[in-house]
Structure 1
Amino acid sequence: MKPQSLMLSFLGIHVLDRRVAVFSGSVIDVFARVRVSEEAVRTTLTRMVKRELLARHRRGRRMYFGLTARSTAVLEDGYQRVWRSVVNRDWDGTWTMVGFSLPESARSQRHDLRSRLIWGGFGTVQNGLWIAPGEVDVPGLVGDLELDDHLRVFTVRTAKPTEAGQIAHSAFDLPAVAARYQAFLRRWDGDNPYPDAPDDLARQLLLHTEWLHLVRRDPRLPAEHLPGDWPAIRAEQVFRRLAEGYGESARTIAESVLDTIRP
C-alpha cells in the first residue's frame, strides 16, 4: 500500500472532523506500525503540502500538519465511499453516459479524465463512450479538468434490442472486480487477520486503506445484474465487523501516541 493512501486513511479516521493538526513525529510513530519508514512519511507529508492537501503549522521546533479545504473534501468523499453499501439496490434504470473526443496532444488530460471516470463508477461502452449506473454528478467529478467543450453528457435508459444486463457485463470487468473482493476475503476473513501487525491501530489503517482501494474501483452495479454469489456482499460484512472491532482500541492507541494542536 502506498504511503499516501495510508496517510489519507489515517487522516480520515483520526483527524477529519477534529479540527486539529498533528505533530510529524507522532505520525512517524503511527506509520512505523505499518512498516512505513520515517523518510517515506516525511516525503509524503511534503508532497501533500505541495498538492495543497496539508498545511504546515509550526510550534517552536515542532512542525504540525493539518487539513486544507481540498483534503477535507477528498476525505469526506472517501468516508462516503467507505461506508455506503457496495451493492446498488436502489437503481431506477437510468444510466449516465459521457462521450468525449480529445486530440492526441491532450494525452495527459485524456488520462486524467479516464481516471476520474473510473473513480466515478464509469465503464466503457466503446471508444470515447463511457457509462455508469444512476445519475452521476459529472461536473463535480471532472469539472476542474476544464474539458467541458470536449464532453457530451446524457442521462439515458436502454432500449431494445439493448438490455441493461448486457451493458453491465460488457462495459465492466466483473470477473476482475470479483477477484479483488475474493483477495480481500482471503486476507481478512479469518480468525487472525494480519498477524504481523503489532496492534489494532495498524490493522485499522491497513483495513480501511485496502477497503477504500477496493470500493473506488467498484462501479456499484445494480444488484439485479450481479451474480447471486457476488463476493462484495460478504466482503462488506467482514469489513464492517472488523472496522467496528478495531475502532475503540485503535482510538485509544492513537490518543496515546498523537500530539495535536488547534491550528
Structure 2
Amino acid sequence: MNTVSGAEAGSGPGPLGKVQPRQLIVTVYGLYARDTDGWMSVASLIQLLADLDVEAPTVRSSVSRLKRAGLLEAQSVSGAAGYRISPETERILRDGDPRIFAARRATVDEGWVLVVFSVPESERARRHTLRTQLTRLGFGSVSAGVWIAPGHVHGEAESMLARHGLRAYADLFRAGYLSAGGGDGDALAAKVRSWWDTDRLERLYAEFLATHGPVAERIANGAPVTDRQAFTTYIGVLTDWRRLVYLDPGLARELLPDAWSGTHASELFDEMHARLAGPARRHVARVRAR
C-alpha cells in the first residue's frame, strides 16, 4: 500500500530543512496557539517540533530568542510553563492571514500604491528598517526613495509604517501607469520586470511545485496519511508558501511571463490546505491534551 512517509511529508530534507526553527515555532503558534488565547505549553511545543525533527534544546534556545525579540511572552497556565504570543505578534499574524490564506492577484486597472520616502543620513537604521519592511511586503523598487506595489497592498503599507514609527518619513500615493504610448501593457510589463525579479519568483514557484507536488499527487490519489504526517506536511507547505507570498505582492497575471508557475503553486497550496489542515489540527489537539 502506498503511504506518505515522514520525509515525504515534509519533516526531512528540502526547503523545510532550510527554515530556521524560530520560523517553524512562529508558524506553529500562528496556526494553533491563537485557539487558546495565544498560549502553548513548552512541553507541547517541544513535542510538535520533535515531529519536525527539531531537538528540544534547539526549541528552548529559539523560544528564548523569540522572547527577547518581543514575539513571545513567558506565562504559566495551571502550573504548566509556556509562552503566549505577544499582542504585537498577534496583530502581525492577523494582518498576514489574508495574504497567506486568500492571496490576491491584482488587475491592471486597480492601479498602484507608491511609497515615496526620505530618511536623513543620521537615521540610517530607520531607512534600513523601512526598506526591509517594504521588501517584506513585496514592494518593488522604482528608485532609491520610490517603491511600488499593486493598489491592494495599501492597507498593509499603512499598517507597517504606523507600527514601526515611520509614517513621518514616507508619503503614500495611489497611481496609474501612463507611458508615452498611453500605458500599453507591453511597456508596463517591461517596467514590472525591472521593478521585481520575476525570474527569481518564477524559479521559487517552480521549486515549490517540484517539492510539494509529488506528495500532493499521492494524497490526491488516495495514499493514506496519518494525522501526524498531515501535520508535518502541512507545516512544510505553509512555511514555504508564507515565504513566497511575501515576495510576490500579487502582480497582475497579464504583466507576468507567459510561463508563470505562481498560478499552479497557488492552486496546489489551496488543495493541500483543504486536505491537510483538519487532520493536522487533530494531531496538535492530541499532543496538547497529553
More helix, by proportion? 2
The TM-score with structure 2 as length reference comes to 0.80
Contact 2:29-2:38 at 8 Å conserved across structures: no
Counterpart in 2 of 1:150?
Answer: 169
Counterpart in 1 of 2:222?
Answer: none
Counterparts of 1:117 and 1:111, CA distance in 2: 10
1:169 Cα deviation after fit: 1.7
Alignment partner of 2:109: what SS? coil
Q: How does 1:74-89 map to 2 (within 5 A)?
A: 74-85=92-103, 87-88=105-106
1:201 aligns with 2:218: no
Counterparts of 2:164 and 2:91, CA distance in 1: 17
The TM-score with structure 1 as length reference comes to 0.88
Alignment partner of 2:132: what SS? helix
Counterpart in 2 of 1:165?
Answer: 189
Counterpart in 2 of 1:235?
Answer: 265
Deviations 1:154-208 (A, max 9, x none): 2111223264323312111100111110111110011459x9xx72211111111
Q: What is the percent sequence identity of the aligned residues? A: 25
Counterparts of 2:124 and 2:55, CA distance in 1: 35
Query: Which of 200, 207, 211 is matched with 1:176 structurally?
Result: 200
Query: Which has the higher mean CA deviation after the structures are superposed, 99-108 or 208-217?
Result: 99-108
Q: Which runs of 5+ in 1 are unaligned?
A: none
Query: Which of 228, 238, 241 is matched with 1:211 structurally?
Result: 241
1:59 Cα deviation after fit: 4.2
Q: Which runs of 5+ in 2 are unaligned?
A: 1-18, 220-224
| Number of corresponding residues | 257
Counterparts of 2:34 and 2:80, CA distance in 1: 21
Counterpart in 2 of 1:118?
Answer: 135
Counterpart in 1 of 2:114?
Answer: 97
Aligned residue type for 1:63 = A
Counterparts of 1:19 and 1:91, CA distance in 2: 40
1:259 Cα deviation after fit: 4.5
Counterparts of 2:113 and 2:38, CA distance in 1: 39
Contact 2:118-2:169 at 8 Å conserved across structures: yes
Distance 1:51 1:22, change over 3 A: same
Contact 2:231-2:276 at 8 Å conserved across structures: yes
1:21 Cα deviation after fit: 2.1
> What root-mean-square deviation, in Å, do the aligned CA atoms of Structure 1 and Structure 2 show?
2.4
Counterparts of 1:127 and 1:59, CA distance in 2: 49
Distance 1:64 1:156, change over 3 A: same
1:91 Cα deviation after fit: 4.5
Counterpart in 2 of 1:28?
Answer: 46
Distance 1:147 1:12, change over 3 A: closer
